Structure 1
């Protein structure tokens, strides 16, 4: 009979087991924060939902704020990747600016809001938790402004929109996006996500395409 390698248990290394535990805590956070809100989900409830101990929790996280931030960053990272890939594909096939913007916004809304728990974390639960988390949230929002401005600048070079500094209007659009999805999360009945995409597309197309007066 061959002995298992040192440091392995049930065929998994200690690193693999810790990674699995971390994912279980994150899955518990997604469910609790995304359905009941951040304030309602204590560390003890996170541990119970994950089926793990508080000792194991503190081996992975300093506090439950870290769980919220990791979920928030994961959602934003996945949305950024989806939007970047979608916009690149639209640019490569020579899509018009209307199609490019709608495709990019659909990728964003689908990634962040198809699962209501993700939308609740990204647009509701993360708001106003603490100064540190609010600072982080605003920094992540600023990255979206940078990305949209880069897309607009590339469109301007292709002659699809006027050449100008779009940072102020894109910042306003970014705020409108967060407010719209925040309100959508808390409303019943909820409008179809296609309606959210279309409302945002009209705002952004109008902002980028409208000529200077």
Structure 2
């Protein structure tokens, strides 16, 4: 007869549940420190001090600091992509300029409500190749959302490569606009930024879209 094993529990939680909770605490602490001091302040020592955990529990969840930084950044990215995914979920029945306007407004509203969110997600992370790679990947993912939404409206003779290039350039430019706005280099309102994005769509639209 085979041996029967049972998962040990503590306080009504299994070992796996406790590991998951500790991992979430470490990520939350990393995000708090990131908001306060930038990504360079997110050290293993600082995170362990913030959570009250020793480094053994840190290494139980993460191989190193870079892995933690990426996990924390991805949590913020997923939050934003979920919001944008909701905007683009039913694009087939709506004009593209209206979708882009709502998407830009969604991003700016989220950042206005939580400026630290924008700094984590969008600022350059010079000195961290792992975070710079994440930032580049997010730009591509967002451009893919825009190009995917545009497919419903694209003319049969449209240059799809040029469309993708313009989408990446537009998304990248939007990110830099937000960074300039957050840092005080651009003195304008969020609504003014949104309206300039809508204007850009109206200029580019006739190059690619039907009835634009």
TM class by smaller structure: 0.7 to 0.9
Could you tell me how far apart the structure 2 residues matched to 1:15 and 1:191 are?
Answer: 49
Deviates more, 1:194-203 or 1:182-191: 182-191
Alignment partner, residue 116 of structure 1: 115
Does the C-alpha gap of structure 1 residues 138 and 25 become closer, same or farther in structure 2, counting only changes over 3 Å? Answer: same
Counterpart pick for 2:159 among 154, 160, 164: 164
Alignment partner, residue 3 of structure 2: none
Alignment partner, residue 181 of structure 1: 178
Alignment partner, residue 201 of structure 2: 204
Q: Secondary structure at the match of 1:108?
A: helix
Alignment partner, residue 100 of structure 2: 101
Contact 1:82/1:111 (<8 A) preserved:
no
Q: How far off its partner does 1:111 sit? A: 4.4
| Per-residue CA distance 1:71-126 (angstroms, 9 max, x = gap) | 2222222222221221223x35x3323222111222333445532221111112x5
| Per-residue CA distance 1:159-208 (angstroms, 9 max, x = gap) | 9xx84321111111121122112223322898554444333333334323
Alignment partner, residue 80 of structure 2: 79
Counterpart pick for 1:127 among 125, 128, 139: 125
Deviates more, 1:8-17 or 1:62-71: 62-71
Contact 2:96/2:149 (<8 A) preserved:
no
Count of aligned residue pairs for this structure pair: 202
Alignment partner, residue 140 of structure 2: 142
Does the C-alpha gap of structure 1 residues 137 and 79 become closer, same or farther in structure 2, counting only changes over 3 Å? Answer: same
Contact 1:72/1:121 (<8 A) preserved:
yes
Contact 2:122/2:135 (<8 A) preserved:
no
- Residues 48-63 of structure 1: matches in 2 within 5 Å? 48-63=49-64
Could you tell me how far apart the structure 1 residues matched to 2:113 and 2:34 are?
Answer: 16
Using the size of structure 1 for normalisation, the TM-score is 0.80
Contact 2:159/2:208 (<8 A) preserved:
no
Alignment partner, residue 154 of structure 1: 152
Q: How far off its partner does 1:28 sit? A: 1.0
Q: How far off its partner does 1:133 sit? A: 3.2
Unpaired segments of 5 or more residues in structure 1? none
Contact 2:158/2:207 (<8 A) preserved:
no
Q: Secondary structure at the match of 2:151?
A: helix
Q: How far off its partner does 1:33 sit? A: 0.9
